[in-house]
Structure 1
């Protein structure tokens, strides 16, 4: 039965994650980047501005309904920065060669445009359910596409896929990788490792979205900074390898390297695939956290969330790549022929072992311990994000039911996640990995398609934001200005919390009309 499930899920995975999805991901990111004139470059200052909470007197003031802009950013980044940043990068290098790192950079750069669009749309079409802001792809697919039957079907399918990937199969993978790393480093029994992780998740998860946000804003930045600093230290020690390392990345990326030329197709595929898997731009997960933020204009959170893609791939994933490539601690295998092209770590399979060996080569005996600790925090914050994403999609599925039913089912799934973490720490299977990837793949196909359909609305949001900035205003959102319907909650939000900004906006616009 196990072999049958492995084969079945592998076939489904290969169909969903074939070349068309790679083209769709690259095409969508490039489309948004071109249509919005590369906001990831033009508005970089704004991205950092909202990320650091320069509007903290107003924007980062949490309310009973939502969390601060930075908390939402940290929660989304916690979901992005996970085991995939360590094991995923190693796998991409193993099967795609060093050039895969370049294509991870590419999908991060153009994916920032996609991340802006999905996060801004999540803000537009968020709703207030059981006293909290909730939103994400399922919400903007239904409401943004007019609420017709087709839109509702796609929204439900997305929500179910998200619950599968984030609430059932995903936690198994995160827990197993931590337990395995802890066993290698400390000889810790996997059941004990699983129990430790499950207990930490339970304490935070049952505190609701606001506690998830508070913990994430404390843990995620520290976690990412320490990891990046270690990578820079290793790069500094191996500074003589810098020219050859980057030369290898670029020559392999453009099929100019004779050693890796035969696997160039895999180079692009693995770079894009692991890039999407890591930074999550386009499959909608970060949009769930974005919808919870308390901001005066959807574009503000869209810009903040765009920066999280940079942090994840250009900083954290690059840190892993630097450690592996500068030390030569990696293997490269031709998937089709199963021949070994490069063997820097004889006999070692792709995964966290590459990174452990890389650190050990510079700091003997440190690699296993450091990676075990890093994987714990990476997995922990990812699991917190999984809890939120699952909560949001359960609320969508049960939006027409009573508050009592929603709370019961939300707590049931939180309990399920905790149990899965405990059990999943002791075992892993190809079926679990494949099923998680299948769920994510379904999310990608639906969300990328929806984003293209709703692209005009996303572009109008950015134009409205920039128009108000040009007038010297602190942008505030009025749906009618962008021709957007089904965003009634914003009327209440602006009236309750941003009446002063709205009055100033109307005053300035009125004066401009008279002058014209």
Structure 2
């Protein structure tokens, strides 16, 4: 299994995808005139405004749901892996992909808002499958994305998150002995942790998107703040080393100990995994928000990239490098370019971060990271469930197979338990397959959509024009802007309700003409 997954990763995460992620971010930064800088103040204003409704959630709730997907294992274990395999210079490339990715996040999230729908239960649904079908007119491509996303978010990615929870608990509290099962021999700690996580997860996912949003809007900001405070304390205790750490990150980015390719490759791979810019996951939560104008949620989601990578990931990186709690693996098996820790301390896991905090705050690091990872990873699993659910809702617009949602819940719970007890290398490799596949499909899709109609850019210019005019209540008229198939916004502008998703004629390969 490990060999097969590594082979697939070698194809999916070829240098082409690495530079596609960076290139798409640079392209959208230029075409939006660096929206991630120009509208920074507006991002803050929008984040604190807006309310939820019967159909949708507030901008802040949508940010919390998307951040629950972004702020997760990638911020703790992912950063450790980037340093462990790409050297400190990989952190610089995580920063680059975050800065450029903020523009990509605006574009994909604005598209999700423009082409969102109300489903048969009256809730907003949207995401890449929806905007690929409506803006590109290619239903087959939308279906490929939907199926790939259901598989990635329902099967492959949850195991990465739960695996880190299991590893962190085992590191903090011990294995508790080994137990033989029909699927292998596992520690009691991991089995108990997997069962506990699965039970709590079942309670929430059977409660619907509102329960997910209400849970994440409380947990995510609290845990992110607690984590950053701990990191800030460790950095202050070693403030004299901060210039040295910056020098290592910048210097190794271009002449890195593990080679430029390793630093860029691991920095971009783990950067995309962590902040999800271009991956196509963030737009699902963005579409669920109830806002006055699509550009507003695009800006809010753009801001989430800063929180994830420039704040939380940087906090992890500085703790690890300041305390020297890392190894850098060489090209050969068992070879190290830098070895500060024992050879059996794995980079694909939370141990670097746990040991970093433990060295600065003895007795706190291991249990704190286990606690933080539980909430970070748990809320990320919730976000993955919501994303998979949204893509099943997309498929059900055409093919109503009974029990699809229930089957998703069961499969995801099994994947979470299985991921908790399995080895870290296999879990992360399977997660990379899911992330890479979605990134390929989504980035190619949004670039094609840009050259076909530029809907996200038109929405941004329209929003800026209304800002300049000093309006207090923003409106969005897709027909006036030449944007087709934005049915929800057309009906909203006309004082009506959007056409139910079940009634949409999606049998055509070409875009359907807008209805009156």
TM-score normalised by structure 2 residue count: 0.89
The farther-off stretch of 387-396 and 409-418 is 409-418
Question: What residue number does 2:130 align with?
Answer: 139
Quote the offset at 1:440 in angstroms.
1.8
Quote the offset at 1:268 in angstroms.
1.1
Quote the offset at 1:254 in angstroms.
2.3
Cα deviation, 1:94-121, whole Å, max 9, x if unaligned, reads 1111111111001000100000000000
Question: What residue number does 2:2 align with?
Answer: 6
Q: Is the 8 A contact 2:278 2:442 kept in 1?
A: yes
Higher share of residues assigned helix? 1
The answer to whether the aligner puts 1:66 opposite 2:56 as a matched pair is: yes
Question: What residue number does 2:368 align with?
Answer: 370
Question: What residue number does 2:160 align with?
Answer: 173
Q: Is the 8 A contact 1:94 1:332 kept in 2?
A: yes
- C-alpha distance in structure 1 between counterparts of 2:428 and 2:257, whole Å: 29
- C-alpha distance in structure 2 between counterparts of 1:478 and 1:362, whole Å: 55
Question: What residue number does 2:140 align with?
Answer: 153
Which residues of 2 match residues 78-157 of structure 1 at below 5 A?
78-130=68-120, 131-145=122-136, 147=137, 151-157=138-144
The answer to whether the aligner puts 1:427 opposite 2:393 as a matched pair is: no
- C-alpha distance in structure 1 between counterparts of 2:193 and 2:495, whole Å: 46
2:265 to 244, 266, 269: 269
- SS in structure 2 of the partner of residue 342 of structure 1: strand
Quote the offset at 1:414 in angstroms.
1.4
TM-score normalised by structure 1 residue count: 0.89
Quote the offset at 1:424 in angstroms.
2.8
Quote the offset at 1:400 in angstroms.
1.8
Question: What residue number does 2:227 align with?
Answer: 227
The answer to whether the aligner puts 1:35 opposite 2:26 as a matched pair is: no
Cα deviation, 1:279-328, whole Å, max 9, x if unaligned, reads 00001101000000000100000000001111010011001101101111
Q: Is the 8 A contact 1:99 1:250 kept in 2?
A: yes
Quote the offset at 1:240 in angstroms.
1.3
- C-alpha distance in structure 2 between counterparts of 1:244 and 1:69, whole Å: 39
- C-alpha distance in structure 1 between counterparts of 2:258 and 2:73, whole Å: 29
Question: What residue number does 1:192 align with?
Answer: 192
Q: CA separation of 1:207/1:303 partners in 2, compared to 1, >3 Å: closer, same or farther?
A: same
1:282 to 278, 282, 288: 278
Cα deviation, 1:209-233, whole Å, max 9, x if unaligned, reads 1111111111110111110111100
Q: Is the 8 A contact 1:103 1:271 kept in 2?
A: yes
Q: Is the 8 A contact 2:163 2:424 kept in 1?
A: no
Question: What residue number does 1:325 align with?
Answer: 321
The answer to whether the aligner puts 1:493 opposite 2:492 as a matched pair is: yes
- SS in structure 2 of the partner of residue 341 of structure 1: strand
- C-alpha distance in structure 1 between counterparts of 2:336 and 2:231, whole Å: 27
Cα deviation, 1:12-40, whole Å, max 9, x if unaligned, reads 11111010001100000000000110011
Quote the offset at 1:122 in angstroms.
0.4
Gapped regions of structure 1 (runs ≥ 5): 54-58, 499-516
Which residues of 2 match residues 228-267 of structure 1 at below 5 A?
228-255=228-255, 260-261=256-257, 263-267=259-263
- C-alpha distance in structure 2 between counterparts of 1:248 and 1:92, whole Å: 14
Quote the offset at 1:497 in angstroms.
9.1
